[in-house]
Chain A
Amino acid sequence: MEQAAPDPERLWQPAPLEPLSHPDAGLESMVGEETKGARDEGPGDGTMTENNFSLKKIEISVSEAEKRTGRNAMNMQETYTAYLIETRSVEHNDGQSVLTDSLWRRYSEFELLRNYLLVYYPHIVVPPLPEKRAEFVWHKLSADNMDPDFVERRRIGLENFLLRVASHPILCRDKIFYLFLTQEGNWKETVNETGFQLKADSRLKALNATFRVKNPDKRFIELKHYSDELQSVISHLLRVRARVADRLYGVYKVHGNYGRVFSEWSAIEKEMGDGLQSAGHHMDVYASSIDDILEDEEHYADQLKEYLFYAEALRAVCRKHELMQYDLEMAAQDLASKKQQCEELATGTVRTFSLKGMTTKLFGQETPEQREARIKMLEEQIKEGEQQLKSKNLEGREFVRNAWADIERFKEQKNHDLKEALISYAVMQISMCKKAIWDVLKDCAVLFFFCAPSGRKKS
């Protein structure tokens, strides 16, 4: 498959505004790029002007989810969830945002978008979607796709996906992505019209290449190993974490049983009554606090899951390289064999076994004219082959260079994001501990006073 230069038709042109100085963090994303040294666009394409092309800030959010019913491809009733995507453009003067587009999309359309990006940007580590089905569940969590908590977490995941695409320096300029955000009807048809499905590499081909490639770039081999191991370790982590959550839930809930019995006990006591009530109440509060705690932890798990799926995207880039490299190797091999054939014909020596050689032996030599014709054909093929090899080589090197640039970008992003995730996990634990201590102290104050001040001697 060819590595085409970014196709002008697939890019979209933001409206020209004054240049923006500094990108901000957070929910905003920067679209477009300063184009002082504008890229080479196709001839005759004047839609991208050089110096007054500047930055426009947009905000993307997936703000709502709604259950819908409709008819599917087989004309059967089905229930699905639709998500509202809102795009706002930010007037950077006053920071006010104006709603420019809003439309509804379902999960399958996101999948379509992503598959398209995978095909047309094979050198990019394409951001992953949130999981299709709930996995790594522990018993209280529902595995049902219609469950409101699942839908909510999916909504956040989809928003994150869009933000990641929009903040990627290359992907953000894709026209289909732009249309995904702006053109509700007909978008599916538009995507399919690009014919990207045909351009996709077959799984079989990719698998074949993986096994047979002789000389892939060492860095890609290492990266492949890394992404495999990352996938494995994060899966393991998520599985154990789910079990931990399950057990913790059990611990908290059993504490809840104390509530009633302490209350009943307090009823038969005189001075101790208040203290016991307080203890019972404390247990109830404690038991119910687990729900919030585990909800936060699911959030952390989602962040890990994103990178679990990112590992798959990394793997895809490696596979693409292997495929291209294999292609290259095959082309080189083919060329070499043709050259050899040509040489053999020219010099009349037969060094390798060939069908022609066989038939020649059996049916007699060909005429000099026939031989000349064949040599000529071969020479042309060789010339073509050499051109192709050259361009494949170039493509391959360019792919490696571009892919590696994106991989470096990805590495930095990953390190930053995962550190953030760990920090917020630690902060979560800290505030949970502090709250727990606070709750115990509060209830202890009552406990402390439940004994009548001792003027009596104990004995």
Chain B
Amino acid sequence: MSGGPPKALQSTGPQSLRDMPHPLAGSSSEEAVGGDSTPSPDLLTARSFGDKDLILPNGGTPAGTASPASSSSLLNRLQLDDDMDGETRDLFVTVDDPKKHVCTMETYITYRITTKSTRVEFDLPEYSVRRRYQDFDWLRNKLEESQPTHLIPPLPEKFVVKGVVDRFSEEFVETRRKALDKFLKRITDHPVLSFNEHFNVFLTAKDLNAHKKQGMALLTRVGESVKHVAGGYKLRNRPLEFAAIGEYLDTFALKLGTIDRIAQRIIKEEIEYLVELREYGPVYSTWSALEGELAEPLEGVSACIGNCSTALEELTDDMTEDFLPVLREYILYSDSMKSVLKKRDQVQAEYETKLEAVALKKEERPKVPADVEKCQDRMECFNADLKADMERWQNNKRQDFRQLLMGMADKNIQYYEKCLMAWESIIPLLQEKQEAKRYPFIGKNQDMQSNGKKYQLFYSSFLILNLPSPTSYKMALI
């Protein structure tokens, strides 16, 4: 896996504030933090090889074959410039260090939550507590109850089908940790939710269970009257923006669902391709054992294919770990948003009902009764809160998806760069002692031209003339 935590669930140790990855950044920002140096060939070498060592036929890194600049680091620089917009923050929350706990009744995982803040609401500047998934679930429920007019970020799926997914596998735990981290960071970034008392308790309390028992006392007034009802409400005048958002969310969730399915299918196909590739490479080795002069070149090709296989495996892992979870998160987000919209509708319906009732009795009392006014207030508050949250959500969504797609593009580029490097490194090996001979060669020249593959010739010329690759031109432009 690329850049993942070590196999055993160990503590990652204390991290300084500056080293903590940017709240909304994905894994691709690993290099972005503190990365402002010009990507050098060494950087390319170091990061392209990942956790698994690439085997080169001659051993060691090939001299003079690294591209002048890595396209992948180019993308990272672009993302970095955008993320760091110099906001001043006074609350930082991180989720890390998953640990397995084995008790008589059950086995579960806890995560360490580290909080750093200068806010007055926090007694100490720093906190470190351990929480498990059900604690997060509790927090979310509390937030929904206490802040019904706001959008609460989603949690990763609660239930997993036992036997299909291993709840304690490294990949699953890491995926969940990232999602939980994101969840807390979204709350942290929210101007209202971050000041919520339940959130504070979650971050600071030594014994959360004691607090859970006192739950009822912390409910605020708005929470009581909200009843979740399935189905819509008949409204006179649903404000346009909320109607539009509702429709949008339906289509949005649908499209994301389709993309999720396609992505899963791609991963499946890639795995099957990988199986064949893993058989393909070694056949060249077998052949190499028969040959004399051809032995080294064939062995080189075998190693090359092996390297490409490894690179593909890393890419597929990345897709599973980084791409799919974000899709799922937004699908869950859409669901929870739809239920908030319903609540809003309900509040509006209540108001409209009351208004109508008053209107019927209008002859009697000319003034608007207090409770109708209160209803109107409530509705307008709700609308305002929701509208603000919607805007925030849209912005975040844009950022997140842009980052996601760029991140995937980056990973793809990294994959191709690894393959490129592998193949480029064996060219000198193959060209050794090769002179132009007068043996006919199967229609090579005519074929390439007749197909008019401009890219092939284009790039071949780069190779032959040893020009820098197109990517460096791109960098020069920017």
Chain B residues within 8 Å of A157, by CB:
442
- The answer to whether B392 touches A248, judged by C-beta atoms less than 8 angstroms apart, is no
Which of the listed residues B402, B412, B439 has the most CB atoms from chain A within 10 Å of its own CB? Answer: B439
Residue in A closest to B420 when the chains form the complex, CB atoms: A433
Q: Could you say which residues of chain A place their CB within 8 Å of the CB of B270?
A: 251
Question: Do the beta carbons of A27 and B440 come within 8 Å of each other?
Answer: yes
**Which A residues lie within 8 Å of B417 (CB)?**
433, 437
- As a 0/1 sequence over residues 416 to 447 of chain A, the CB contacts with chain B under 8 angstroms (1 = contact) are 11111011111111110111111011011001
What's the nearest-Cβ distance from chain B to residue A263, in Å?
10
Residue numbers in A under 8 Å from B444 (CB-CB): 424
* Nearest chain B residue, comparing its CB with the CB of A260: B258
C-alpha gap A7/B57 in the complex (Å): 51
Are A431 and B456 interface neighbours, CB within 8 A?
yes
Name B297's contact: one of A160, A241, A261, A422 (CB within 8 Å).
A422
As a 0/1 sequence over residues 252 to 277 of chain B, the CB contacts with chain A under 8 angstroms (1 = contact) are: 10011011001001100110110111
Q: Which residues of B contact A292 (CB under 8 A)?
A: 451, 453
| Cα A251 to Cα B438 with chains together (Å) | 40
Q: Say if the beta carbon of A247 comes within 8 Å of chain B.
A: yes
> Is B52 positioned at the interface, with any CB of A under 8 Å from its CB?
no
A275 with B269: in contact, given A27-B440, A240-B283, A306-B442 (CB under 8 Å)? no
User: Chain A contacts of B406 at CB under 8 A?
Assistant: 444, 447-448
Inter-subunit contact B287/A459 (CB<8 Å): no
Is A254 in contact with B420, judged by CB distance below 8 angstroms? no
B471 lies within 8 A of A437 (CB): yes
Let me know if B294 is at the binding interface, CB within 8 A. yes
Contact A423 B190 (CB under 8 A): no
Q: Does B426 contact A (CB under 8 A)?
A: yes
B301 and A422 contact, CB distance less than 8 A: yes
> Given the interface contacts A247-B276, A417-B441, A422-B297, does A431 sit within 8 Å of B284 by beta carbon?
no
Q: What 0/1 readout, one digit per residue, does chain A (126-157) give for beta carbons within 8 Å of chain B?
A: 00000000000000000000000000000011
Q: DSSP majority for the B interface?
A: helix
Interface footprint category on A: 35 or more
Let me know if A279 is at the binding interface, CB within 8 A. yes
Q: Once bound together, how far apart are the Cα atoms of A30 and B436, in whole Å?
A: 16
Q: Is the CB of B469 within 8 A of A255?
A: no
- Tell me the complex Cα distance, A59–B332, Å: 69
Q: Are A419 and B272 in contact (CB under 8 A)?
A: no
* Beta-carbon contact of B396 and A437 below 8 Å: no
Question: Does A250 make an interface contact (CB < 8 A)?
Answer: yes
Q: Does A229 make an interface contact (CB < 8 A)? A: yes
**Of the 9-residue stretches A177-185, A186-194, A295-303, A392-400, which lies at the interface with chain B?**
A295-303
A419 touches B437 (CB 8 A): no
Interface pick from A74-82, A323-331, A450-458: A450-458
Is the pair A416, B437 in contact by a Cβ cutoff of 8 Å?
A: yes
Rounded to whole Å, the gap between the CB of A309 and the closest CB of chain B is 13
Q: Say yes or no for A375: interface residue by CB 8 A criterion.
A: no
Asked if B460 is an interface residue, CB under 8 A from chain A, the answer is yes
Q: Which residues of B contact A29 (CB under 8 A)?
A: 440
* Interface-side segment among A195-203, A264-272, A348-356: A264-272
- Range class of the B interface residue count: 35 or more
Known A441-B413, A447-B409; contact A427-B463, beta-carbon cutoff 8 A: yes
Determine the main DSSP class of A at the interface with B. helix
Q: Is residue A24 contacting chain B, with contact meaning CB distance below 8 A?
A: yes
Q: B251 near A: Cβ within 8 Å?
A: yes
Interface contact A429-B293, CB-CB below 8 Å:
no
User: Taking CB as reference atom, which chain B residue is nearest A226?
Assistant: B290
A258 at the binding interface (Cβ < 8 Å): yes
Query: CA A251 – CA B266 in complex, angstroms?
Result: 6
Query: CA–CA, A246 to B248, complex, Å?
Result: 39
Q: Is the CB of A429 within 8 A of B409?
A: no
- Within 8 Å of chain A (Cβ to Cβ): is B416? yes
Closest chain-A Cβ to B364's Cβ sits at a distance in Å of 48
Q: How far is the CA of A433 from the CA of B425 in the complex (A)?
A: 14
Residues of B within 8 A of A415 (CB): 293-294
What is the CA–CA distance of A292 and B471 in the complex, to the nearest angstrom?
A: 23
Contact at A434–B459, with CB atoms within 8 Å?
yes
Report A276-317 CB contacts with B as 1/0, cut-off 8 Å: 000100000000000010011001001100100000000000
CB-based nearest A residue for B287: A233
Pair A272/B294 contact, Cβ less than 8 Å? no
B438 & A167 in contact (Cβ 8 Å cutoff): yes
B30 to chain A, nearest CB (A): 19
Q: Does A214 contact B (CB under 8 A)?
A: no
- The 8 A-B residue pairs with the shortest CB-CB distance, nearest first, are A163-B440, A459-B189, A247-B273, A431-B459, A433-B420, A265-B255, A156-B443, A160-B442
A-B contact list, 14 entries, CB within 8 Å = A27-B445, A233-B283, A243-B276, A251-B270, A262-B259, A265-B255, A268-B248, A279-B405, A419-B434, A422-B298, A425-B301, A434-B470, A437-B420, A441-B471
Give residues in A with beta carbon < 8 Å to B.
23-27, 29-30, 156-157, 159-160, 163-164, 167, 226, 229-230, 233-234, 236-237, 240-241, 243-244, 246-248, 250-251, 254-255, 257-258, 261-262, 264-265, 268, 271-272, 275, 279, 292, 295-296, 299, 302-303, 306, 413, 415-420, 422-431, 433-438, 440-441, 443-444, 447-448, 450-452, 454, 456-459
